[in-house]
Amino acid sequence: MRFHWFHLMPYQDLPPDFSKQYHSVWVDPPSHLFDPAAGHRMYNEYIDELEFAAASGFDGVCVNEHHQNAYGMMPSPNVIAATLARSTSNAAIVVLGNSIALYNPPIRVAEEFAMLDCISGGRLVAGFPVGSSMDTNYCYGQVPATLRDKYDEAHDLIIRSWTEPEPFAFNGKYTQLRYVNLWPRPIQKPHPPIWVPGGGSIETWEWVAKRDYMYSYLSYSGYKRGEKVLQGYWDTLDRLNIEPNPYRAGFLQLCAVADTDAEAEKMYTEHARYFYDKCLHIAPNFAEAPGYRTLKTIEAGLSTQFTAQAGEDRSKLSWKDFLKDGYIVGGSPATVRDQLKDVIKRLNVGHLMVLLHFGDMPREKVLRSTELFAKEVMPHLRDTFSEWEDKWYPQPLAEQDRRSPVASVGVA
Amino acid sequence: MAEAKKASIRNGLFDVQLWSQGSGPPLLYLHGWNGMRQWPAWLDALTGRYHVVAPQHPGYGESTGLEHLADFLDLTLYYLDFIDAMGMERPTIIGHSLGANIAAEMAALSPPSVGKLALVAPTGLWDDKNPVADIYAMTPKQRHALTWHSVEEAEAKGFIPKPETAEEKSAEGLEQARSLAAGAKFLFPIPDRGLKKRVHRIKTPTLLLWGSSDGIVPPTYGPLFKKSIAGSTFVEIPDAGHEPLLEQPERSLEAITRFLWD
């Protein structure tokens, strides 16, 4: 069983009445709300937290891409990943990921990922999300109807650029390049493992399965919704006669660990509320541009989690509410590990990404929750799925061949 | 009764649903971003003098082939092929919204192919001071409020579909999703595909018709189009929004027929 520590990097200083006073947390929250000096503090604390997680024995540290978003301050996750490639030594650098249809030309992603793989000594996981509708359509102006086609083409170009040894010409519908010739190339062969975060679009299941990639569902709505989405994925694999190796799947779960259940409620309720009330205050009219979901997905009755949640009032939710529907797995180490054991088995996921920082959680709580998780939860679940081989985890250079920073100050 | 039929364009690449009625010189009606579910009743007023053809755009309703249209140029060329395939020689074109945008592009790209033009609330130009509404970032309710002069009356007259059973609701949702996605291919995120560079090439007599309470494409765009199309006429219809032909059919048709029969 693999455990990864995921950071969204939310902006912590949104005004108390944010969800009443402002239209949306995403796309159009006015940028004057962002104080760069506070940003300086948050970025640095957040990078500390990721480094602490890596040093605590998590298998990977995860960063992702969002635009014009007050709960995700990483328009370029590669910038954060580059610092982690230097400051961590063993954890996988999981960039989950780069929305490859947004980059012109998309080989920019191939180049930066190759750089990250080289700097980290082959520890990169290359995430290729289609990207949310807010990010891709509303913030980056992509035409919804052609987004997936453009994504497919970008994917093919990136894979070819990583694997073909000689320069080639690429005459695509969206990108035309006379000379594709990637410098540098990734360490991992044929290329870094590819993880595809999906939001529940049915075509993605088959797309991922046929290419032997890893599918992950980054849910903020807990394992109950997660079960439905992942079941669709496992059914697809079954239909294609592909073995249900749990390492083919990942799942994001908000977790919060304290010494006791009561202590967890006391420590984390306010931060959970900040996350669900402010960070997920997404205006219904931005939830999804027409054409973002395919008709097949709409017909299947599968909405994005943002469409499902947009416009709901979550300012009054209690800790019990957060636990009830599985939005958060929280409590004492024993409570958390029992529940996670059940979640992991039920969803059949070999890669669990935990969100131990959420909302405006201060550093000491994040470190405490992370430490308890690493020491008292993780070891008890390690052996789950040991009968399966994880072919979707990075294959770095041998440890003795990897360089670390000469003037390393280290963390923790 | 208008006849509903299918037409095959470019050897079956496009299978088009259309309605046609009347006899006389050809008249093409091109519907707006919101689609056209059936023959619009107000077209009856023109069938005594024209052979009227009203197709659904690729990707709308029953019409297929949207995947073969990458951009607005493809869409414009498709309609130039369409009129050839239908044997419509220099048709008069009435276009609404997205349809008026297509008509304007056809007239700019291929002036000899097009007869008179009646453009009803066309998209295609952009003015920073009066932006076209972002119809693709709206709830249906927000869209209705900007589309109609009176939402109440539009509802009462059945212009806004009101599905009742779960089955009807899901079918309606799917139909809406399909139409919006198809139109968004040509209008998202900003409905300006460079028409301003070509609009001066429109030489044919042109009527610009606007509802004075249009909240989707504000009537301030009327004078912008008028300035760019030599000799064009701009008429504003009071008590009408983005759908003047539905909300004020008599006044709108009066303006259109006066222009066409002139």
* Window from A150-164, A190-204, B221-235, B241-255 with minimum mean pLDDT: A190-204
For chain A, the residue count is 412
From the list B70, B138, B184, which residue is nearest A144 (CB)?
B184
To the nearest whole percent, how much of chain B has pLDDT over 70? 100
Q: What's the 3-state SS for A247-266?
A: HHEEEEEEEEECCCHHHHHH
Contact criterion met (CB < 8 Å) for A138 and B189: yes
Asked whether the beta carbons of A101 and A150 are under 8 A apart, the reply is yes
What is the distance between the alpha carbons of residues A93 and B24, in angstroms, rounded to a whole number?
A: 70
Other beta carbons within 10 angstroms of residue A33's beta carbon come to 13
Chain B, 123-142: which have a CB under 8 Å from a chain A CB? 136-139, 142
Across the strands, what pairs with B18? B5, B55
Chain B residue with CA closest to A141: the answer is: B189
For position A296, what pLDDT does the model report? Answer: 86
Residue with tokens 């409590």: A331
Phi, psi of A339 (to 5 degrees): -70, -40
Chain B, 170-189: which have a CB under 8 Å from a chain A CB? 173-174, 177-178, 180-185, 188-189
**Shortest alpha-carbon distance between residue B33 and chain A (Å):** 12
Residues 6+ apart with CB under 8 A from A317: A272, A273, A276, A277
- pLDDT band of residue B160 (cuts 50, 70, 90) is very high
Confirm or reject contact between B226 and chain A (CB < 8 A): no
Asked whether the beta carbons of A363 and A45 are under 8 A apart, the reply is yes
* Window from A286-295, A298-307, B163-172, B177-186 with minimum mean pLDDT: A298-307
Chain B residue with CA closest to A298: the answer is: B174
Look at phi and psi of residue A63 and say left if phi exceeds 0, alpha if psi is from -120 to 50, else beta.
Answer: beta
For position A404, what pLDDT does the model report? Answer: 83
Confirm or reject contact between A137 and chain B (CB < 8 A): yes
Contact criterion met (CB < 8 Å) for A284 and B182: no
What is the distance between the alpha carbons of residues A313 and B39, in angstroms, rounded to a whole number?
A: 43
In Å, what is the CA distance from B31 to each residue of B10, B97, B103?
21, 7, 10
Contact criterion met (CB < 8 Å) for A146 and B70: yes
Q: Which of A24, A148, A173, A285 to probe by mutation at the B interface, max B CB count within 10 Å? A: A285
Kindly report, residue by residue over B18-63, the tens digit of the pLDDT.
999 999 999 999 999 999 999 999 999 999 999 999 999 999 999 9
For position B102, what pLDDT does the model report? Answer: 99
**Shortest alpha-carbon distance between residue B100 and chain A (Å):** 21
What is the distance between the alpha carbons of residues B229 and A200, in angstroms, rounded to a whole number?
A: 48
Contact criterion met (CB < 8 Å) for A145 and B177: no
Q: What's the mean pLDDT in B177-196?
A: 97
> In B, which residues are within 8 Å of A282 by CB distance?
none
E strands in A277-323:
none
- Gyration radius from chain A CA atoms: 20
For position A299, what pLDDT does the model report? Answer: 83
Chain A residue with CA closest to B68: the answer is: A146
Q: Which of A143, A150, A294 to probe by mutation at the B interface, max B CB count within 10 Å? A: A143
Asked whether the ipTM of the predicted complex exceeds the cut of 0.85, the reply is: yes
The average confidence (pLDDT) of chain B is 97
**Shortest alpha-carbon distance between residue A79 and chain B (Å):** 28
Which residues does chain A have with pLDDT short of 50?
none
Cα B38 from chain centroid (whole Å): 14
Which sign, positive or negative, has the C-alpha torsion B149, B152, B157, B163?
Answer: positive
Report H helices in chain B. Answer: 72-85, 98-109, 140-147, 151-156, 166-187, 221-228, 244-247, 249-260
pLDDT of residue B200 exceeding 80: yes
> Looking at this protein, which amino acid is placed at residue A385?
F
Instruction: Tally A–B CB contacts below 8 A.
Output: 58
